[in-house]
Structure 1
Amino acid sequence: MMFRNGVSFDYPFVEAMRSMLPLVDELIVNVGECGDGTLDLVKKFAAGEGAGKVSWFTSVWPLDEPGMRTGGRVLAQQTNLALDRCTGDWCLHLQADEVFHEDDVSLLRGAIERVTLMPDVDGLLFDYVHLYGSFDVMQVSRSAYRREVRALKLSCDPRSVGDAQGFRTRDGRKLRVLRSGARVFHYGWVRPPEKMREKTVFMDKLYHGSADAGAPATGDNYRYKKFPGLKKFTGTHPRVMHERIAGKGWRWDLDASPLEWKPGDALKIVLDAAESLTGKRFFEYRNYRLAGGKSVPAPALSGTEKPKASLVVTTYEMPRHLALVCAALERQSERDFEILLCDDGSGPVTGAVARDFIRRAPLPVQYFWQEHKGFRKCRILNKALAAARGEIMIFLDGDCVPHRHYVRDHIMMQESGCFLAGRRVELGEHLSARLSPRAVRAGYFDWPHPSLVWSVLRGESSHLQRTVRIAWRWLRRLFGMMHVDDLKGCNYSVSRKALLDLNGFDEDYEGYGREDTDIELRLLNFGFKIKS
């Protein structure tokens, strides 16, 4: 880590250091010379809870050297001073306004352990949570970067570049990285307004060379304002931030603030909408190269580790369809879930598809089989429920091919006291027969494919509108997509606790149909609400 003026600019640098302690063997801290008490707090932390791990040193920022007051280059120069003192195989990097979440510690440790054995991977990518103006507001537009590299193998000889936001190898190559699934909470835009202004004036000098201490070069950019891309943050903050959040001494209300609009926002809104629909951020600049499978392969779950969700896939004598579903599950954007394949007595071909998927899957998979004595879906669902470890239960039929954000959306849309009921696109027989696992892996369902559009126009397939993924809640409400009349057993989710409280599925339902209506009515009678 490196920073200066941590106290005067109200950086959560102590919280940042504290969040790193469970993950590192040594913590190197470069404190730029300043007279605001920052160094005293670092010394106190190093002598107290950081004893034996924290090693600090001071440096003078060479702001009088040519080029050091443009583009934030001094930040990379100071980061490299700390990087040069690292002695381990890996380096974790945080800026003074960034914090790790304790819930991600085991996930990150596991990712580092697995990637250590992958010679073609240089580091790990982290997902960013950008807070803005207040601790209950986050920024999700393309104006805020989605991911950055914050774990590096020292064997690739990394150097901090630009304004210390990213890294390259010493010869200038972008790092090859995988997504870790861990998060960085960024609090750079959450501090008292007067501190925000002081910090902006100083940082503008590092980027623009401004010598005017009274007027930031970026105008009133420091002022908190409501603009497109802000929404309420409903997640949990890292535990190390709780005391700071409780002592917050200012108020900025997103809902009460007027929307401020600039002509350039129109393009951002269009691109944000495209990202919401496709899951892709067009024209995104990346300080890195994604390697291979893009995400760290998931390990087999131990006896104590629990995933976020358990995905239950039911099948009977549809091996070709199951192969398509498995191909889609291999490329899910969410990785923290397990798969429970429930087979109601299929023959050896379906079993072979299941076993092949278990060998190839980047996720933990369990396979349940029962002798076929008619339609006994509820019985095998109860077996899966008893074995499931996820907090959320997601149910998918074995002939329904999920979108690549399917699991992620079910997790993100969960709401206390509700169950989610989804729908499906009805594919025509001709189009279904032409589909292959290779086409699914290549992203056939990421966006309405021309062949699917043509099939709908010919009247063979239906519900084309359901192929368009809209993740923004306000847009879903605008189009009435949050409302759904009933639950279909092919696509829904609910908390595992709710199902256990209901005593699971009613095994008296034998023969096709109405077992999904039964679970819907019991959830409604239990006080749950249905939403899509």
Structure 2
Amino acid sequence: MSSNPTISVIISTYNSIPWLEKTLWSYEQQIFRDFEVVIADDGSRDDTKEFIENYAQDSRYPIIHVWHEDNGFQKSQILNKAIMACNANYVVMSDGDCIAREDFLQIHYERREPGYFLSGGYYKLPLDISQAITKDDIYTQRCFDVEWLKERGLPASYKNQKLTAGFVTAKVMENLTPTNASWNGHNSSGWLEDIKKVNGFDERMQYGGQDRELGERLFNLGIKSKQIRYSAICLHLDHARGYKNQESIDKNKAIRKSTRDEKKSYTPFGINKE
């Protein structure tokens, strides 16, 4: 392995050790191995720090823990700190409640291209199945098997195609999907240099759309996006969202509108403060 990894994976977390542990287990099984994980920790308690320190001792990949004091929902701030801690020139972003299929990083690696970012999605699991998934279910990859999930009560849905699409079908569906290839914080990737050019995340933004707004500035910079939502698969574990509030969502919508209307490719409220 080179001194600097090929990919830095940024995973955000906040006081959620059981979900973070399942997420980290899924990276032990990745086919693509030349990566590090940077945990963007938005002020978790000491038990999370202790868990990460213990976990890192036996992990197959290097782990960097980036933390700041808890000051409410400040995900944009901690993500910017995590961006600055990355040692690779290519960055995959996901969340500490998303179990990555074994080919997740391989897909991001193979599809990366100068002048583009990659836009993936997730498959959302109900709470009872999220809780029931074990280390062994992740290591054997059976948690990605639709039949196995159905046996555990997964409802039938057209969304199940995400888990059953083979390589060719996935590419066809990505070409046909009406879903906009936006920057999605749970499953997107891009070049570190491009992310720094737009000055990372806008730290005025709290819950709701701060990832999309970053993508909109990348578009304004001239970066295009590619859809990988049926190829790069992750399972989203269910949980409550105590930090969701309408005021924050409305404020963020106004910032996004200004970014689009004025075609801004840079925020003065990002990594570098002016």
TM-score range, shorter-chain basis? 0.7 to 0.9
1:476–1:443: structure 2 CA closer, same or farther, 3 Å change rule?
Answer: closer
- Tell me the secondary structure at the aligned position of residue 142 of structure 2: coil
Please say if residues 143 and 149 of structure 2, whose CA atoms lie closer than 8 Å, have aligned partners that are also in contact.
Answer: no
Aligned-CA RMSD value: 2.1
Please state how far the C-alpha of 1:456 moved relative to its aligned partner.
Answer: 3.0
Tell me the residue number matched to 1:467.
163
Question: Which deviates further from its counterpart, 368-377 or 430-439?
Answer: 430-439
Query: Which amino acid is the alignment partner of residue 213 of structure 2?
Result: D
Q: Distance in 2 between matches of 1:330 and 1:445?
A: 15
Change (3 A) 1:501 1:507: same
Secondary structure of the residue that 1:404 maps to in structure 2?
A: coil
Q: Which residue of 2 aligns with 1:523?
A: 218
Matches within 5 A, 1:75-474: 107=1, 305-452=3-150, 455-457=153-155, 463-468=159-164, 470-472=166-168
Residues 1:482 and 1:376: Cα distance change in structure 2 (over 3 Å): farther
| CA deviation vs aligned residue, 1:154-207 (integer Å, no higher than 9, x gap) | xxxxxxxxxxxxxxxxxxxxxxxxxxxxxxxxxxxxxxxxxxxxxxxxxxxxxx
- The alpha carbon displacement at 1:359 in A equals 1.0
* Structure 1 or 2: more helix by fraction: 2
Amino acid at match of 1:326: L
Contact in 1 for aligned 2:10/2:92 (Cα 8 Å) = yes
- Cα 1:320/1:469, change in 2 over 3 Å: farther
Q: Which residue of 1 aligns with 2:254?
A: none
Please give the secondary structure, in 2, of the residue aligned with 1:401: strand
**What does residue range 49-60 of structure 1 map to in structure 2 within 5 Å?**
none
Quick check: 1:368–1:384 contact (8 Å CA) kept in 2? yes
Distance 2:37 2:135 in 1: 18
Residue 478 of structure 1 is matched in structure 2 by 172
Taking the aligned partners of 1:417 and 1:381, their CA distance within structure 2 comes to 22
In structure 2, the CA distance between the partners of 1:440 and 1:514, relative to structure 1 (3 Å rule), is: same
Q: Describe the shift of the 1:319–1:410 C-alpha distance in structure 2 as closer, same or farther (beyond 3 A).
A: same
Any unmatched runs of 5+ in structure 2? 228-274
TM-aligned CA distance change 1:318 to 1:497, over 3 Å: same
What's the % identity of the aligned pairs?
26
Match of 2:184 among 488, 512, 520: 488
SS of 2:112's equivalent in the other structure is coil
Letter of the structure 1 residue corresponding to residue 190 of structure 2:
V
Give, as a single letter, the amino acid of the residue that structure 1 aligns with 2:4.
K
TM-score when normalising by structure 1: 0.40
What is the rounded CA distance, in whole Å, between the counterparts of 2:91 and 2:191 in structure 1?
6
Which of structures 1 and 2 has the bigger CA Rg? Answer: 1
The question of 1:506 aligning with 2:202 is answered yes
Alpha carbons 2:11, 2:95 under 8 Å: kept? yes
Aligned length: 225
Aligned letter for 1:524? F
Q: Is the 8 A contact 2:117 2:188 kept in 1?
A: yes
Report the 3-state secondary structure (helix = DSSP H, G, I; strand = E; otherwise coil) of the residue aligned with 2:76: helix
In terms of fraction of residues, the more strand-rich structure is: 1
TM-score (norm: length of structure 2): 0.76
The runs of 5 or more residues in structure 1 that have no matched partner are: 1-106, 108-300
Secondary structure in 2 aligned to 1:346?
Answer: coil
Output the CA distance in 1 between the equivalents of 2:31 and 2:144.
12
Shift of the alpha carbon at 1:453?
Answer: 6.1
Give the secondary-structure state (helix, strand or coil) at the position aligned to 1:367.
strand
How far is the alpha carbon of 1:357 from its aligned partner? 2.0
Distance 1:470-1:498 versus aligned 2 partners, 3 A rule = farther
